[in-house]
Amino acid sequence: MNLNLDYTGFEKYLIDRYEREDVNGVGYIFKFDNGHGASVIKNDYSYGGPMDKWELAVLLFFDEEAPDKYWVEFNTPITDDGIGHLDDARTRDILGEIQKLPTIS
């Protein structure tokens, strides 16, 4: 399983990359200037992970001072759930869609 996401073009928005040995996986957290972000994971139990695909969830950051304070946002024009079975290119496409969401007020 390839645990290296090609997130070319989104390097400055990556705020965390972590490995999870207990599930044979990795996670990436992105935060955009509009207050939205994304969790991108791949592991033995994620949607598509066993087929070497990524799973993405839209995040909403709620504390400007604390980048680790966020929750999964289930009410966006992009999705109302996690999106699985993604290759790197489709993951980057969705990151771009999240980056274009309206700024959280």
Tell me what pLDDT residue 46 has. Answer: 97
Among 93, 20, 103, 22, smallest CA distance to 64 is for 103
Query: What's the confidence (pLDDT) of residue 23?
Result: 95
- Residue ranges of alpha helices (H) inside the chain are 88-99
pLDDT at 105: 73
Query: pTM of this prediction?
Result: 0.93
Residue 34 pLDDT: 95
Give the pair of three-digit tokens for residue 59.
């995040």
Give pLDDT < 70 ranges for the chain. 64-67
What was the pLDDT predicted at 67? 64
CB 14 within 8 A of CB 37: no
Instruction: Indicate the domain borders of the chain.
Output: 11-99
Residue 80 has what DSSP assignment?
A: S
**Phi/psi at 14 (nearest 5 deg)?**
-75, 120
